[in-house]
């Protein structure tokens, strides 16, 4: 069964007390959401324990924004998948375009990180998406296929049950420019067909594929109405509980 998910990527925003207050508000307001919608928040590493406590007893799940590509040891400043799992955290985002762009995240590294996350019982939200130059050159389908193949084709159909894909056109992230519902849907359908080609139709049909890029209460309904868009990865709008919940109520 395909799951509907709305995940909030807080990026490098909020202090710990601010994050805890936001999490408490999200947890309280999430109580009225339909049970088929999974809500996730992804605060910075420093907030995970406190936010996890604030979410206790609610249906909101906890995600990290990244994890290390090593198991443990002398890797100063890094945070291992096993550490995240011990908080406990249920998810980690991997391959966000900001990590690909500013921190040299490669598909090769993402294979390693995804393996480590899954081995530690963390689910993965794997981000893919083309930049503006690639979209203008008409290469968006190829870029996204390659990102999917380079990472997900190293995993099994069983592994894919614990992986969610987030399609995030880089030109739409934090820019206020949203892909139209039709633009997003054609890429989501393409992603599903790439998955089907490798893993079969049933696996592809069960896969949750989120849209991310300036998704807000005013456009979420139209995006989520598309048959291959199963929710959103939300940046800016996840920092306001009311906006985040309004998006999650848009199915
Ligand atoms: C994101 O960074 O994952 C994102 C979708 O950001 P925004 O919603 O702010 O465009």
Give residue 239 CA to ligand 1 midpoint distance, Å.
11
Of the candidates 139, 130, 145, 161, the one whose C-alpha atom is nearest the C-alpha of residue 1 is 161
- Mean pLDDT value across the chain: 97
Cα(26)–Cα(33) distance, integer angstroms: 11
221-234 mean pLDDT: 98
**For ligand 1, is residue 174 a contact (CB within 6 Å)?**
yes
Q: Which atom of ligand 1 is nearest to the CA of 96?
A: 3
Instruction: Indicate whether residue 9 lines ligand 1 (CB < 6 A).
Output: yes
> What pLDDT shows up at residue 99?
98
Do residues 147 and 107 make contact, with C-beta atoms less than 8 angstroms apart? yes
- Across the range 183-206, mean pLDDT stands at 98
Kindly tell me if the per-residue pLDDT of 9 is higher than 90. Answer: yes
CB 173 less than 6 A from any atom of ligand 1: yes
Distance CA 191, CA 148 (A): 8
- Catalytic residue among 105, 134, 168, 185, which? 168
CB neighbour class for 159 (10 Å; exposed up to 12, middle 13-18, buried from 19): middle
Residue 95's CATH number: 3.20.20.70
**Cβ distance 203 to 186 under 8 Å?**
no
Mean pLDDT of 107-114: 98
- Confirm or reject: Cβ of 178 under 6 Å from ligand 1: no
* Strand, helix or coil for residue 131: coil
- pLDDT tens figures, 70-110: 999 999 999 999 999 999 999 999 999 999 999 999 999 99
> How much is the pLDDT for 60?
98
In the predicted model, is pLDDT for residue 240 greater than 90?
yes
Q: Tell me, what's the pLDDT at 176?
A: 86
What pLDDT score does 178 carry? 85
Please give the Cα distance from 204 to 188 (Å, whole number): 11
Hey, what are 89's tokens?
A: 């955290």
Rounded Cα distance, 109 and 154, in Å: 12
pLDDT beyond 90 at 177: no
Tokens coding 3: 């799951």
Instruction: Note the helical H segments in the chain.
Output: 16-30, 48-55, 81-85, 97-102, 107-119, 132-136, 140-152, 157-160, 181-199, 201-206, 217-224, 241-248
CA separation for the pair 143, 147 (Å, rounded):
6
Task: Decide if 168 is catalytic.
Answer: yes
Which entry of 96, 140, 188, 190 is annotated as an active-site residue?
96
What percentage of the chain has pLDDT greater than the value 90? 96
pLDDT digits (tens, 9 = 90+) for 20-73: 999 999 999 999 999 999 999 999 999 999 999 999 999 999 999 999 999 999
Going by alpha carbons, the residue nearest to atom 1 of ligand 1 is 235
Q: Is 236 in the pocket of ligand 1 (CB under 6 A)?
A: yes
**213 CB near ligand 1 (under 6 Å):** yes
Q: Which atom of ligand 1 is nearest to the CA of 168?
A: 5
Beta-bridged to residue 8, according to DSSP, are: 41, 234
Nearest-atom index, ligand 1, CA of 236: 9
Query: Tell me, what's the pLDDT at 1?
Result: 85
Whole-structure pTM value: 0.98
> Which of 5, 8, 9, 127 has most ligand 1 atoms within 8 Å of its beta carbon, as the pocket-test mutant?
9
The minimum-distance atom of ligand 1 relative to the CA of 93 is 3
Look at the chain and report how many structural domains it folds into.
Answer: 1
Instruction: Tell me the residue range of the domain where 98 lies.
Output: 4-248
Contacts of 117 (CB under 8 A, 6+ apart): 67, 81, 84, 92, 94, 123, 124
CA distance 224 to 215: 10
């Amino acid at each position: 069964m395909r799951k509907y998910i709305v995940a909030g990527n807080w990026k490098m925003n909020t202090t710990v007390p601010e994050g805890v207050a936001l999490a408490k508000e999200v947890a309280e307001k999430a109580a009225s959401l339909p049970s088929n919608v999974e809500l996730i928040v992804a605060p910075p590493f420093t907030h995970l324990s406190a936010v996890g406590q604030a979410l206790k007893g609610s249906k909101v799940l906890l995600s990290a924004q990244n994890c290390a590509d090593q198991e443990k040891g002398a890797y100063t400043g890094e945070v291992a998948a096993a550490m995240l799992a011990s908080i406990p955290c249920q998810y980690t985002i991997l391959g966000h375009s900001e990590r690909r762009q500013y921190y040299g995240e490669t598909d090769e590294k993402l294979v390693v990180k995804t393996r480590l996350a899954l081995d530690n019982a963390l689910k993965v939200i794997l981000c893919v998406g083309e930049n503006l130059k690639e979209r203008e050159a008409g290469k968006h389908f190829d870029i996204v296929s390659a990102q999917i193949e380079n990472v997900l084709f190293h995993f099994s159909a069983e592994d894919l049950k614990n992986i969610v894909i987030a399609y995030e056109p880089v030109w739409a992230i934090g820019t206020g420019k949203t892909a139209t519902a039709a633009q997003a849907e054609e890429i989501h359908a393409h992603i599903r067909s790439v998955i089907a080609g490798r893993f079969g139709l049933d696996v592809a049909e069960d896969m949750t594929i989120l849209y991310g890029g300036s998704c807000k209460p005013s456009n979420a309904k139209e995006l989520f109405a598309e048959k291959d868009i199963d929710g959103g990865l939300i940046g800016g709008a996840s920092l306001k509980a009311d906006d985040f919940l309004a998006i999650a109520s848009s199915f």
